[in-house]
Amino acid sequence: FVKSSVIEGTQHEEDSDQEDIDEKDMLKRELQDERKTLPIYKFRDELLKAVEEYQVIVIVGETGSGKTTQIPQYLHEAGYTAKGKVACTQPRRVAAMSVAARVSQEMGVKLGHEVGYSIRFEDCTSEKTLIKYMTDGMLLREFLGEPDLASYSVVMVDEAHERTLSTDILFGLVKDISRFRPDLKLLISSATLDAEKFSDYFDSAPIFKIPGRRYPVEVHYTKAPEADYIDAAIVTVLQIHVTQPPGDILVFLTGQEEIETIDEILKHRTRGLGTKIAELLICPIYANLPTELQAKIFEPTPEGARKVVLATNIAETSLTIDGIKYVVDPGFCKIKSYNPRTGMESLLINPISKASANQRAGRSGRTGPGKCFRLYTSYNYMHDLEDNTVPEIQRTNLANVVLTLKSLGIHDLVNFDFMDPPPSEALLKALEQLFALSALNSRGELTKTGRRMAEFPLDPMLSKMIVASEKYKCSDEVISIASMLSVGNSIFYRPKDKQVYNTWKETDYSTQWCYENYIQVRSMKRARDIRDQLEGLLERVEIEISSNASDLDAIKKAITSGKNGSYRTVKNPQTVLPRWVIYHELVLTTKEYMRQVTELKPDWLVEIAPHYYQLKDVDDTGTKKLPKGQGRAAL
């Protein structure tokens, strides 16, 4: 490594001696004392005064300064919760859960009572709830039931710099309701200094800056580019562990698989280090990690040991782990991108932006001077990294958002007040997809089907499949399929067949059966929870539960109803079977892979969506072309 720059700290403070408190035995009073040591505490009264004076405020503060955990409590203490709930949105599920757990501890209340959280398919709130942490997507859905958010007195759109799709849409919606709800307070909080843009968007809202506590961070680069960043990360962690003074390590990785690989290799390699070297505790953190294990990263490191946290981007700004002195940054993250022409969405490993790299480095300088090891060259940093990540709204499929906005009665999407508008091509494609699914009519208006679809917190293709199951009398099977698909890839090591859910049910939801079949009990239970909720929603849209397990074609037709244009031409169609398939996901890794596949008959497409497919589109003898639907869906 070459040491080539130092990011200067902004402020040095003496009160950072809170590290070695055993959180487990910490009494509420001690937590209360700890709250007072956070950088935001000094600005508590000033902040509350600003909230009183202005309707909208942009708040900027270094990660870890206490924005997420403290501001909602300050508002509660100042009496805002007497007028309505305080909402605080998070782009990530894990962050919403973890922060809610922390705040309930600080307030000495049971999680789900005064302080709760709400994430998709999991509502941990009650009548009593005053402070509600939630994913930005959940608040977006709450607009459907309560378009003026009447039950809230304050909405804090947190982690605004992340610019997720839901956050960007929320911006437009909360800005709109703030005009006719002068009593509603809006806080837009962000970890980056790029606050002017938020302020401009919210009609020159004042910016409240919380000076951070930040120590200098030494940044080291590799001399030459690394061929294998996984290997380089492992070597760097071991080098830090063997040569550097005490302090925990944070490694940024792109996803669960990478984290598991490194976890395993590190365990293996440290076994051979002997007793002279301190113990290395390995703590993974990613979205699908069981909640019990997530809490582990916050446990103080035992005396004489060193902790290495293997994290996804979640540790960049959403979560703050105390005690980190070293950051290892390979410089990559998974980024979703979307090609509106083909309708293909992919999740690929990409270089991070300069803004991300600096956030990551900053994580090592929170409690004392830190070091950041970048596994790329300073030339790479200077010349290859973009300044900022492109907002999600400009690189994603918009079908879901368009359906939500249409159900909120927002018809004119082109003139929606976007902070950064999506490409018009992507907007058109979304309208076309919704038209193909019969969610919109040819004038672009929401149909009855579309209205029913919007009730389900699912991708429009899955909600259409459920709505269509009514006709084929197989809603029972179809919601099982939808819930299994919603749990993602964590059920099967290799997709076996769709019977998994029912077989598990026959064993009376047996844990043993899951072990025997290498199936994750947790994922199955989650599927069951989701299924229960979907069953409830069926009732709401008045679809009867009916089972048609013997008629596979009926089920497949329902599935087909939820798809459009998602088939591929094969080079040599005569020799490959099946000729026509439907897939749930297209994953681009080394090649393009279809995941969760079933066969269909092409004439079903014409039967199911005659407004979109014609026989000649699905003519099996000639070369197949993707059907054209352009121009039929109106804006």
User: Could you write out the three-class secondary structure of 114-146?
Assistant: CEEEEECCEEECCCCCCEEEEEHHHHHHHHHHC
Q: Map residues 529-548 to x or -, x wherever contact with Mg ion holds by CB under 5 A.
A: --------------------
Q: Does 93 bind ligand ADP (CB under 6 A)?
A: no
3-state secondary structure of 45: helix
Give the nearer residue to Mg ion in terms of CB position, either 69 or 483: 69
Give the nearer residue to ligand ADP in terms of CB position, either 35 or 334: 35
Judge contact between 520 and 491, C-beta under 8 A.
yes
Pick one of ligand ADP, Mg ion, none as the site partner of residue 294 (Cβ within 5 to 8 A by kind).
Answer: none
Q: Is 103 exposed, middle or buried (0-12, 13-18, 19+ CB in 10 A)?
A: buried
> From the centroid of its chain, how far is CA 208?
27
Q: Can you tell me the distance from the alpha carbon of 368 to that of 271, in angstroms, rounded to the nearest whole number? A: 30
Give the nearer residue to ligand ADP in terms of CB position, either 112 or 495: 112
In whole angstroms, the minimum distance from the beta carbon of 67 to Mg ion comes to 5
Gyration radius of the chain over CA positions:
26
Q: Can you tell me the distance from the alpha carbon of 543 to that of 29, in angstroms, rounded to the nearest whole number? A: 52
Q: Does 102 bind ligand ADP (CB under 6 A)?
A: yes
In whole angstroms, the minimum distance from the beta carbon of 190 to ligand ADP comes to 10
3-state secondary structure of 407: helix
In whole angstroms, the minimum distance from the beta carbon of 100 to ligand ADP comes to 9
In whole angstroms, the minimum distance from the beta carbon of 565 to ligand ADP comes to 42
Give the nearer residue to ligand ADP in terms of CB position, either 320 or 438: 320
Residues contacting ligand ADP: total by CB under 6 A = 17
Give the nearer residue to ligand ADP in terms of CB position, either 68 or 475: 68
Pick one of ligand ADP, Mg ion, none as the site partner of residue 116 (Cβ within 5 to 8 A by kind).
Answer: none
In whole angstroms, the minimum distance from the beta carbon of 64 to ligand ADP comes to 5
Q: Does 322 bind ligand ADP (CB under 6 A)?
A: yes
Give the nearer residue to ligand ADP in terms of CB position, either 314 or 524: 314
**How many degrees, rounded to 5, is the angle at CA 463 between CA 395 and CA 343?**
30
Q: Which tokens belong to 597? A: 């596949």
Q: Map residues 38-77 to x or -, x wherever contact with Mg ion holds by CB under 5 A.
A: ------------------------------x---------
Residues contacting Mg ion: total by CB under 5 A = 1
Give the nearer residue to ligand ADP in terms of CB position, either 115 or 541: 115
Pick one of Mg ion, ligand ADP, none as the site partner of residue 320 (Cβ within 5 to 8 A by kind).
Answer: ligand ADP
Give the nearer residue to ligand ADP in terms of CB position, either 106 or 476: 106
Give the nearer residue to ligand ADP in terms of CB position, either 369 or 423: 369
Query: Which residue is at the shortest CB distance from Mg ion?
Result: 68
Q: Does 190 bind Mg ion (CB under 5 A)?
A: no
Comparing C-alpha atoms, which of 531, 449, 532 is closest to residue 486? 531
Q: Does 99 bind ligand ADP (CB under 6 A)?
A: yes
State which of residues 73, 81, 90, 98 lies at the interface with ligand ADP (CB under 6 A): 98
152-157 and 207-210 beta bridge pairing: unpaired
User: Could you write out the three-class secondary structure of 465-498?
Assistant: HHHHCCCCCCHHHHHHHHHHHHHHHHCCCCCCCC
Q: Can you tell me the distance from the alpha carbon of 483 to that of 456, in angstroms, rounded to the nearest whole number? A: 11
Q: Does 131 bind ligand ADP (CB under 6 A)?
A: no
In whole angstroms, the minimum distance from the beta carbon of 557 to ligand ADP comes to 47
Q: Map residues 467-506 to x or -, x wherever contact with Mg ion holds by CB under 5 A.
A: ----------------------------------------
In whole angstroms, the minimum distance from the beta carbon of 106 to Mg ion comes to 14
Please report which residue ranges of 517-588 form alpha helices under DSSP H.
Answer: 521-540, 552-561
Give the nearer residue to Mg ion in terms of CB position, either 92 or 557: 92
Beta carbons within 8 Å of 393's beta carbon, 6+ residues apart: 163, 165, 168, 169, 418, 420, 421, 422
Paired with 119 in beta bridges are 122
In whole angstroms, the minimum distance from the beta carbon of 67 to ligand ADP comes to 3
Window of 95-103, 356-364, 456-464, 511-519 that interacts with ligand ADP by CB under 6 A: 95-103
DSSP one-letter string for 153-181 = EEEEE-SGGG--HHHHHHHHHHHHHHHH-
> Tokens 């305080």 appear where?
86
Please report, as residue ranges, which positions from 27 to 86 form the binding site for ligand ADP (by CB under 6 A). 38, 61, 63-70
In whole angstroms, the minimum distance from the beta carbon of 569 to ligand ADP comes to 49
Strands (E), 291-447: 306-311, 324-329, 332-339, 344-351, 370-374
In whole angstroms, the minimum distance from the beta carbon of 149 to ligand ADP comes to 22
In whole angstroms, the minimum distance from the beta carbon of 290 to Mg ion comes to 23
Q: Which tokens belong to 444? A: 């672009």
Q: Does 89 bind Mg ion (CB under 5 A)?
A: no
Give me the sheet containing 217-221, strands edge to edge: 2-7, 217-221, 370-374, 324-329, 248-252, 306-311, 280-285
Beta carbons within 8 Å of 347's beta carbon, 6+ residues apart: 334, 335, 336, 587, 588
Q: Can you tell me the distance from the alpha carbon of 298 to that of 34, in angstroms, rounded to the nearest whole number? A: 15
In whole angstroms, the minimum distance from the beta carbon of 143 to ligand ADP comes to 24
Q: Can you tell me the distance from the alpha carbon of 600 to that of 578, in angstroms, rounded to the nearest whole number? A: 8
In whole angstroms, the minimum distance from the beta carbon of 133 to ligand ADP comes to 11
Q: Which tokens belong to 140? A: 């977006």
State which of residues 101, 458, 479, 582 lies at the interface with ligand ADP (CB under 6 A): 101
Residue type, 304: G
Judge contact between 205 and 188, C-beta under 8 A.
yes
Paired with 283 in beta bridges are 309
Pick one of Mg ion, ligand ADP, none as the site partner of residue 400 (Cβ within 5 to 8 A by kind).
Answer: none
Q: Map residues 381-420 to x or -, x wherever contact with Mg ion holds by CB under 5 A.
A: ----------------------------------------
- The residue ranges that bind Mg ion (CB under 5 A) are 68
- The residue ranges that bind ligand ADP (CB under 6 A) are 38, 61, 63-70, 98-99, 101-102, 298, 320, 322
